[in-house]
Structure 1
Amino acid sequence: MACLQVKIALKSFFLSFFIVTIIGFLQIYYNFTNSFANVAGTFACTIFVVLVITKLYFQGYYPFQIAIRAAFLGCVLSLGIFVKLVAPPHIQLFGGYMIVMAFFHFSEFVAIGIVQPKFVNKDSFVINHSPQYITAAVTSWVEFFIESYFFPGMKQVEWLSNVGLLICVSGELLRKTAMLTAGSNFNHLIQCEKFSNHTLVTTGVYSWFRHPSYVGWFYWSIGTQVLLLNPLCVLAYTLASWLFFKTRIEIEEITLLNFFGQNYCDYQEKVSTGIPFIEGYKI
């Protein structure tokens, strides 16, 4: 049974998605305008109205912060489909990117709401994961639009972009499978205290990698830049993600060794971290 927060998020996400999609694509279907800019303007106005209604309906209540984020992601998903289908060819890749981003962040909230309903909150969408995460995202947008403006043909290598999409889907599936497999043992924050229900999970995808959720996110992040055909950000994201997860894994493994002692040492000997050239913390 989904918790209240997940139910609110699901309703807000799908209602906003369907409202924006219906209004926007009705305009396209009935040929009210052939201008891409005018149709985009209709989508933008609709999204604004949907978010205002969500704000007015939920403001002053605890679920507001969850509802507004879910509604925003629903709008992004709808707009991403629109861009993918009807934008100029050298811009269409960005629509696929928007779809991937919207689904990732929304599914992140739903997954944590399933495995850790007591800890789910507005930050569980991980939209504002960190200033570095926001900076990286904005940088990738800047690169995409600069390159698409000056070198439009560069953004029309569809087969390579599809490789990036496949990497994103694979990383997404691995991460969410890891979250569901770990169950109540999973948390977005590294835990410093061992609770009575903490167990060492070594089955399923955890028999492949010690940190499958990080492996999934690592490759997902790189895949988003392959999808956008951003050569500079592919390199930058690979390096930045590797450095982030190297530090994160080392810190987490210190706590896991404190929690599970020799059992975790044995697990380390049998299973790799899953990210190339990252060994983790070993005694």
Structure 2
Amino acid sequence: MHNRSVHISLLLAAKWTVNLLVNPFFWMYFSWTWLFWPWFVAIGLAICGVYCLRKHLRGEANVFEQLAIVSSAFTWLTLVPPAHFNGYLEGWPFVFFLVYHYFFFFNISVRKRLYGDYFPRQHDPKWDISPPNWYRLLFCAGVMVGHWLAALEGPELHLIPGGWNNLGIWVLIMLTLFMQYHSTLYLAKYSEKVVVPTAVVQFGPYRWVRHPIYASTMLLFVTYFAALRAPISSLFVIAVCLMYYGQKVKLEEALMLETFGERYTEYMDRVRYKFIPFVY
């Protein structure tokens, strides 16, 4: 009986520790000013990410290696730039490191909700629409440059006010996550095996903009830049996203018109804005 009680206590302690470490509020309000940024960890993650990316491009990466790719990229977007310009980390960079993971793994959550597992389904490759590789690489480089510019433009992390001053940032985070999840979910409900559309989706966020998933990605970047108080860099990343997603949606909408014809034309007439309601 005693051993069982000890075992249960250890499990509860482990669960409490894990929940604490993945809680964004903990990283927001626990000061890390004493921790100087370990460059060897960042460089090691980058090397690991590149290695796993090569395996992924050959179709050989397992789930953990794919996660390593994503975590490495998010580290160099949200943690390394502010750490480089501040010499330490605290506050928003830790929060957004977790938020980026939540955001970009929502499609996996949708698969689990609809099918009971996390595995992608077979689909017609004609729906794998994407601009040329050089254009995608240029977009990735632009996003990375934007994050480094934001860390350079923004004030030092300890000068960013806390408390109620950041309520708007939390509202934007919740709005971004809500928009991404529900956009993916609505699209999946009207698609065959998540990725092949079988109808013109006109519900949820699709009532306001034609491409809410891309719009939510732009909003995520803008929210991070707003948290770092970097408005000029925010305009830069918006321009980068508009150029890339603008080209991508041309290809997608051409295929939608070919597939659904007048139904999609009527939808385009009714929902005129691609990414930003009442603006663009």
**Normalising to structure 1: TM-score of the pair?**
0.57
Q: Which amino acid aligns with 1:223?
A: T
Q: Which amino acid aligns with 1:117?
A: P
Q: For 1:1-283, what aligned pairs fall within 5 Å after superposition?
A: 18=18, 21=21, 35-37=34-36, 44=41, 64-70=61-67, 91-111=90-110, 117-119=120-122, 130-147=136-153, 151-152=155-156, 155-158=159-162, 162-183=167-188, 185=191, 198-276=198-276, 277-278=279-280
Question: What secondary structure sits across from 2:62 in the alignment?
Answer: helix
SS in 2 for 1:264: helix
Q: Structure 1 residues 248 and 134 mapped into 2: Cα distance closer, same or farther (>3 Å)? A: closer
Gapped runs of 5+ residues in structure 2?
1-14, 23-32, 53-58
Give, in whole Å, the separation in 2 of the partners of 1:233 and 1:173: 24
In structure 2, distance between residues paired with 1:153 and 1:238 = 23
Amino acid at match of 2:144: V
Contact 1:89 1:156 in 2 (8 A): no
Q: Deviations over 1:223-252 (max 9, x none)?
A: 221122223311101222222232222322
Residue 156 of structure 1, CA deviation: 0.5
Structural RMSD (CA): 4.8
Equivalent position amino acid for 1:101 in 2: Y
Separation in structure 1 between the aligned mates of residue 113 and residue 139 of structure 2, nearest angstrom: 25
Structure 2 CA distance for aligned equivalents of residues 227 and 165 of structure 1: 9
**Pair 1:134–1:160, CA change in 2 (3 A):** farther
SS in 1 for 2:229: coil
Contact 2:146/2:237 (CA < 8 Å) preserved in 1?
A: no
Point out which structure has higher relative CO (alpha carbons under 8 A, 6+ apart). Answer: 2
1:185–1:152 distance in 2 versus 1, CA, 3 Å: same
Tell whether the 8 Å contact from 1:161 to 1:227 is kept in structure 2 after alignment: yes
Count of matched residue positions in the alignment of Structure 1 and Structure 2? 220
* Contact kept in structure 2, 1:90 and 1:155, CA below 8 Å: no
- C-alpha distance in 1 between matches for 2:235 and 2:34: 36
Is there any run of 5+ residues in structure 1 with no aligned partner, and where? 1-14, 23-33, 56-61, 190-194, 279-283
Q: Any idea what the Cα deviations from partners look like across 1:17-63, whole Å, max 9, x if unmatched?
A: 949959xxxxxxxxxxx9423xx65x959x97xx89xx9xxxxxx77
When normalised by structure 2's length, the TM-score is: 0.58
